[in-house]
């Protein structure tokens, strides 16, 4: 699910909510029925403000946020709107005698921080405070704890709002709320009211609400959501009427059943997706900010023209007039804002020189294809070490997490911590060595450590910190792990005090080969591993999760079973070498493209040389294009001198001379019209041409794994799809 989708339903409901808020401030049914007006303005219309909070949370709050820049941008924008609104209402506040309030400064500070300098402006500081609280709770603790904390705040707010009559009967609570109301006039604020709706909006975004069936496009769920909304709204209606009848309400913004009501309503709203309606968004905000000014203008106009009976005493006419004039004024503000906004389209970040393009649609496709061939009951463990093989750990792991992948493998504890800070949930297995003095970080970030030897396991246990682990069994690769023959040592690990064994695995060292010799050795490794497994069974030890397969293990030996399949290179849509042939050949699509730009095109006469060492001399009058990428970006220097090539305008052109740290040269004499700024593809497709990672790696005398991993340092990652 992408937050960049156009949720047309959200845009339209912004407008509906703006009119509901006008209703709260004008009481349109007063002249018809006081009870009817209460139902409309104090029950139905109370969904408006929580909707705005949830919308902000939906596009703002995420446990997957890389940094705090999006929060700061939201706060900056909201503060600007708030200051503009405060300035707009200075004349009305002067007329009302606001600035003569005694003592002015404490009341002014309270209003600025909590209540707003006019009755409707409380929403803006509440958005700032509530958004910040929700952001930091979700980032630091995840959604469960964030819901717990903001839920408690909301509960506290309830007893200062709709349930205040109960609080007045309990001295401790009454004293508490007396103190609260000295700081802010209502618990309908950015501390008690807003945070839980921000968190709920963010949760619905991160959990995939708004994508297909989860919002009601498939049969049963399509009926479930309206039914859920109907039931929860009915309960909220009953709750509100009961509280009103018993006269328990100090205010009437917060209801217990407002939370489930908003969840179901927002799910329904998200199901309507289509064309982006930017102007409707701006219009709804303008109506919200301007409508109190319009209310004052209508009342003044009616008084001057003696039309009070028509425009004031007739509450519905008053409401409709305010709505109409607010819409006209809002439309004028929207047009002005639209014209004042810069029209220049900003180029994608980092695309002016060289960049990696990661296609999340292809990543998702590969995930589906691999799951089709996995053994039944087996779970995919995504290997995201080395910046997800150069694809960007943030971009890939976060997307996989949103797609339901809950198991990951990283090489180092720092990689694991990085994933946790990105909000990735589930098991994260550290495949390599972690220094003893960093064991506390394994527990802190809920990481699972590989036991690389029996001695290492013993040292870990002695630290006195409970650690989740997987035992690595060396079945013939002779890298990390406990030798398979030493089964007694493996058994002892299960009884170590601070070692919690959650898994056991081995690594097949020649699963990419299909020669009889390779197949025999792979079978030997598998037999060795299951010898250990059988010995554990005989000793009555409960087996942990078992895993043997990696990408090539799955593609060449699909019959080997296990609880996990550790998928690395195949997940990214390529094999290690263009020469590799596998037993299974799923439809995998490359996820990464490497692209750069033409910085300069220059003529080179016959006999002139190009680059360091003059290794290229033109045999004819030529045109040479300088491309803004080099070995400092991870592109192999071994591709110098014609061993590598580049796609420009769909044509493959040879690299000439030596590749430099930051640039390289290609011969574009026969490539047609090539100019500065043209795109150059070094890995990927353009037109009918393709330079696959395995082919480029083979030309450099390497493998795709190494080639791709080298790319993730200096180059920015630009996401496509998702």
Token pair 């009953």 is at which residue?
238
Residues 134 and 279: their CA atoms lie apart, in Å, by 28
| Per-residue confidence (pLDDT) for residue 221, from 0 to 100 | 57
| Closest to 694 (Cα-Cα) out of 551, 522, 548 | 551
Asked if residue 218 lies in contact with residue 157, where contact means CB atoms within 8 angstroms, the answer is no
Q: What is the mean pLDDT of residues 598-610?
A: 96
pTM, two decimals, is 0.87
Q: What pLDDT does residue 567 have? A: 98
Taking residues 676-704, report their average pLDDT: 95
Average pLDDT over residues 640-654: 95
Q: Across residues 505-530, what is the average pLDDT?
A: 96
Q: Tell me the two tokens of residue 552.
A: 């090539």
- The helix/strand/coil state of 545 is strand
pLDDT at res. 210: 55
pLDDT digits (tens, 9 = 90+) for 440-483: 999 999 999 999 999 999 999 999 999 999 999 999 999 999 99
The pLDDT tens digits of the residues spanning 71-130 come to: 999 999 999 999 999 999 999 999 889 888 888 899 999 999 999 999 999 999 999 999
Mean pLDDT lowest among 345-359, 402-416, 544-558 = 345-359
Share of the chain residues as helix, strand and coil, in percent rounded to the nearest 5: 55, 15, 35
Q: Are the CB atoms for 104 and 166 separated by under 8 Å?
A: no
Of 26-40, 86-100, 231-245, 365-379, the least confident: 86-100
Percentage of the chain beyond pLDDT 70 is 96
- Please identify every residue annotated as catalytic: 385, 612
Q: Is the pLDDT of residue 212 over 50?
A: no
Q: Is the pLDDT of residue 342 over 80?
A: no
2 has a pLDDT exceeding 60: no
Q: Using one digit for the tens of pLDDT, what is the confidence trace for 581-590?
A: 999 999 999 9
Residue 593 has pLDDT above 80, yes or no: yes
Confidence of residue 160 (pLDDT cuts 50, 70, 90): very high
Percent residues over pLDDT 90 in the chain? 88
Q: Does the pLDDT at position 211 exceed 60?
A: no
pLDDT of residue 209: 72
Map tokens 């299951």 to a residue. Answer: 530
Query: Does residue 217 register a pLDDT over 70?
Result: no
State the pLDDT at residue 609.
96
C-alpha span between 123 and 120 (Å, rounded): 7
Q: What is the mean pLDDT of the chain?
A: 94
Q: What confidence score (pLDDT) does residue 6 get?
A: 78
Work out the average pLDDT over 249-255. Answer: 96
Torsion (CA) 415, 420, 424, 430 in degrees, nearest 10: 40
What are the C-alpha distances in Å from 94 to residues 111, 125, 288, 572?
15, 21, 21, 64
- pLDDT on residue 213: 41
In angstroms, the CA 284 to CA 268 distance is: 20
Taking only the tens place, the pLDDT of each residue in 44-68 is: 999 999 999 999 999 999 999 888 9
- pLDDT above 50 for 168: yes
Name residue 647's beta-bridge partners: 652, 681
pLDDT at 216 over 50: no
Predicted confidence (pLDDT) at residue 3 exceeds the cutoff of 90 = no
Q: How far are the Cα atoms of 195, 246, 595 from residue 162, in angstroms, in the given order?
A: 18, 11, 59
């Amino acid at each position: 699910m992408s937050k960049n989708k156009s949720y047309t339903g959200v845009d339209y409901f912004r407008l509906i909510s703006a009119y509901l808020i006008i209703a709260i401030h004008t009481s349109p049914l007063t002249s018809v029925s006081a009870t009817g007006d209460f139902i409309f303005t104090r029950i139905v219309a109370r969904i408006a403000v929580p909707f705005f909070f949830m919308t902000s949370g939906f596009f703002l709050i995420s446990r997957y946020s890389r940094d705090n820049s999006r929060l700061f941008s939201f706060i900056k924008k909201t503060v600007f709107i708030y200051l503009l609104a405060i300035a707009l209402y200075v004349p009305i506040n002067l007329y009302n005698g606001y600035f003569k309030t005694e003592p002015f400064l404490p009341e002014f500070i309270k209003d600025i921080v909590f209540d707003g300098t006019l009755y409707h402006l409380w929403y803006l500081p509440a958005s700032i405070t509530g958004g910040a609280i929700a952001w930091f709770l979700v980032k630091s603790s995840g959604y469960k704890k964030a819901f717990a904390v903001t839920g408690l705040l909301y509960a506290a707010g309830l007893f200062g709002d709709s349930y205040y009559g109960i609080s007045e009967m309990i001295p401790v609570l009454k004293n508490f709320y007396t103190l609260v109301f000295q700081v802010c006039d209502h618990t309908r604020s950015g501390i008690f009211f807003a945070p839980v709706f921000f968190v709920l909006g963010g949760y619905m975004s991160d959990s995939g609400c708004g994508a297909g069936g989860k919002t009601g496009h498939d049969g049963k769920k399509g009926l479930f959501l309206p039914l859920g909304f109907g039931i929860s709204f009915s309960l909220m209606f009953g709750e509100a009427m009961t509280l009103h009848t018993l006269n328990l309400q100090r205010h009437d913004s917060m209801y217990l059943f407002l939370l489930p009501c908003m969840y179901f309503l927002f799910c329904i709203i998200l199901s309507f997706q289509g064309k982006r309606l930017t102007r409707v968004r701006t219009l709804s905000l303008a109506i919200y900010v301007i409508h109190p000014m319009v209310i004052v203008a209508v009342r003044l106009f009616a008084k001057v023209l003696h039309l009070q009976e028509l425009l004031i005493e007739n509450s519905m006419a008053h409401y409709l007039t305010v709505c109409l004039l607010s819409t006209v004024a809002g439309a004028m503000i929207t047009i002005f804002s639209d014209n004042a906004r810069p029209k220049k389209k900003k180029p994608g970040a980092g695309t002016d020189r060289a960049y990696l393009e990661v296609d999340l649609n292809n990543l998702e496709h590969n995930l589906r294809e691999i799951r089709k061939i996995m053994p039944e009951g087996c779970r995919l463990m995504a290997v995201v070490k080395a910046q997800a093989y150069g694809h960007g750990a943030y971009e890939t792991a976060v997307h996989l997490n949103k797609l339901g992948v809950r198991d990951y493998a990283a090489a180092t504890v720092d990689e694991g911590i990085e994933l946790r800070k990105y909000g990735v949930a589930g098991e994260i297995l550290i495949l390599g060595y972690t220094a003893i003095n960093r064991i506390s970080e394994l527990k802190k970030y809920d990481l699972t450590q590989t036991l690389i030897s029996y001695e290492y396991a013993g040292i870990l246990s002695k630290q006195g910190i409970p650690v989740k682990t997987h035992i690595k069994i060396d079945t013939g690769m002779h890298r990390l792990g406990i030798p398979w023959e030493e089964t007694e040592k493996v058994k002892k690990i299960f009884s170590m005090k601070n070692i919690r064994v959650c898994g056991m695995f081995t690594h097949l060292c020649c699963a990419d080969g299909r020669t009889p010799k390779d197949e025999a050795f792979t079978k030997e490794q598998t037999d060795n591993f299951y010898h250990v497994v059988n010995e554990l069974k005989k000793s009555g030890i409960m087996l942990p999760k078992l895993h043997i397969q990696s990408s090539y293990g799955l593609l060449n030996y699909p019959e080997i079973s296990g609880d996990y399949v550790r998928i690395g290179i195949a997940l990214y849509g390529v094999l290690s070498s263009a020469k590799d042939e596998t037993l299974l050949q799923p439809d995998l699509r490359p996820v990464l493209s490497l692209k750069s730009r033409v910085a300069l095109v220059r003529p080179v006469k016959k006999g002139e040389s190009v680059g360091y060492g003059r290794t290229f001399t033109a045999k004819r009058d030529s045109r040479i294009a300088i491309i803004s990428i080099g070995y400092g970006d991870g592109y192999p220097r071994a591709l110098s001198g014609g061993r590598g090539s580049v796609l420009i305008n769909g044509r493959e052109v040879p690299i000439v001379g030596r590749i430099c740290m930051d640039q390289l040269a290609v011969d574009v004499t026969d490539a047609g019209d090539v100019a500065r700024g043209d795109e150059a593809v070094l890995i990927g497709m353009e037109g009918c041409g393709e330079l696959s990672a395995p082919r480029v790696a083979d030309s450099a005398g390497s493998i795709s794994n190494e080639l791709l991993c080298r790319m993730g340092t200096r180059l920015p990652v630009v996401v496509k799809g998702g």
